[in-house]
Amino acid sequence: GGGIVVVGVETSCDDTGVGVLRVRQRSCRAAKKTGVGIEAEVLANVVSSQFEIHREYGGIVPRLAARAHEANLPLVVEQALEQAKLSWKEVDAIAVTTGPGLSPCLWAGIRAAEDYAAQHAVPVVAVNHLEGHALIPRLFEDSPAAFPFLTLIASGGHTLLVHVNGVRDYTLVAQSLDDAIGECFDKVARVMGCDGSVSGHPGKEVERLAAQGNPEAIPFRVPLTRSHNVRSCDFSFSGLKSAVRRYVGQRNAEPLSAAEMADVAAGFQHAALTHLENSTRRALVFSGCRMEPAHLEKVDVSMRRKYNKDVARMPDEPLSARPPRSLVVSGGVASNAALRQRLERLANCFGIPLHVPPPRLCTDNGVMIAWAGAELVAAGPGRTLADLRSHADTL
């Protein structure tokens, strides 16, 4: 009992996600200590994947996806409430993703949320999908991420670095100039003939293969390392994707052996992750993070050289007024263990912690939308969480 019950609905892409949270205001002392004003208990997190529906098309078909959301939503909502052991009577608000995403899919979620809201007389809070990814690291009781932090959002749809200074106070530091990292993992998986049917995620299969290969056997070029590129923190993955496609295509006459396949995966993953790490390091430096001199002596030569170059290229104004207090990585690709290891080491060098939300909250889900909705309301001018009960507008 107690607190505010928020249901989050996420349908921006191909997953139907419904999460249920019980949200409470933290005590003054706890809020000060953690830097986060509210806390929440995850009562349910149900995600229904449409993976099987779209697999044969090799991509997501928006109209099919929207229809599947419409069919799934009532079941997923019912299942989530059952998991939470709650009825609609106990629900105080609905948060729903209103963008960015595939519009027919978004509308399926918005219409459903509005129907439920009307039926049960609860308010609807509009949430930006990326805000969900950006704020979810603040949910964790043991180590919630206090503002400001730098977050790398690495998913099938986005590759972004966002400086999160506060609720509704974000600076977009970098984005992909072409494909998203997860999309690139998926395409590479396809080229190599793994479709994700083993694990449910093609990217995960590339990671599994890569762990068995030699990352130096096929040296794919790390993207955007030419000198005129290194003032920006942006990403690009289409060149790397094409390079892998070319390499595998050239060998079409004689199919790759399992060992060669593993080397392709390892070489690709090495280049892709080095690129992510380069941009993240630069973004930390450009937003004012520094390595302690004593620490700098201990890091390996290549990291030290790259760090020193970034410091030399620092823009006149830092990207943010306050340097980040932690680094966060989220999105589907954050479940890649090799990426986490690299970022852990990187954050360590700067003397800040790395936060990685658990995988089930990193991939698209309704919990992050419920949480972001609660944060938006809690941070609103003169609003407390209790206002969720009476506030009936889209925020």
Q: Which residues bind Zn ion (CB under 5 A)?
A: 155, 364
- Cβ-contact 130, 100 below 8 angstroms: yes
**Bridge partners for 18 per DSSP:** 9, 46
Cβ-contact 14, 57 below 8 angstroms = no
Out of ligand KG4, Zn ion, none, what residue 268 binds, judged by CB under 5 to 8 A for its kind, is none
| DSSP 8-state assignment for residue 395 | -
Residue nearer to ligand KG4 on the CB measure, 326 or 336: 336
140 CB-near residues (< 8 Å, 6+ apart): 355, 357
In the complex with ligand KG4, the residue whose CB is nearer, 326 or 363, is 363
Rounded Cα distance between 78 and 69, Å, is 14
Which partner, Zn ion, ligand KG4, none, binds residue 373 by CB below 5 to 8 Å per kind? Answer: none
SS3 at position 143: coil
Closest to Zn ion by CB, 155 or 335? 155
Q: Which is nearer to Zn ion, 207 or 364 (CB)?
A: 364
State how far the Cα of 133 lies from the Cα of 323, in Å rounded to an integer.
Answer: 20
Q: How far is residue 367's CA from residue 364's CA, in Å, rounded to a whole number? A: 9
Q: Give least dist CB 101 to Zn ion, A.
A: 8
Closest distance of CB 110 from ligand KG4, Å: 17
- Nearest of 7, 41, 237, 11 to residue 107 by alpha carbon: 11
Q: For residue 344, what are the contacts with CB-CB under 8 A and spacing of at least 6?
A: 354
Q: Of ligand KG4, Zn ion, none, which one sits near residue 204, judging by CB under 5 to 8 A according to partner kind? A: ligand KG4
Least Å from the CB of residue 158 to Zn ion: 7
374: closest CA among 46, 95, 118? 95
Question: What, of Zn ion, ligand KG4, none, does residue 203 touch, CB below 5 to 8 Å by kind?
Answer: ligand KG4
Nearer Cβ to Zn ion, position 34 or 151? 151
Q: Judged by CB, which is closer to Zn ion: 117, or 162?
A: 162
The CB-of-162 to ligand KG4 minimum distance in angstroms stands at: 15
Binding site for ligand KG4 (CB under 6 A): 13, 155-157, 182-183, 185-186, 201-204, 207, 331-333, 335-336, 363-364
From the list ligand KG4, Zn ion, none, pick the one residue 336 interacts with, judged by a Cβ distance below 5 to 8 Å according to partner type.
ligand KG4
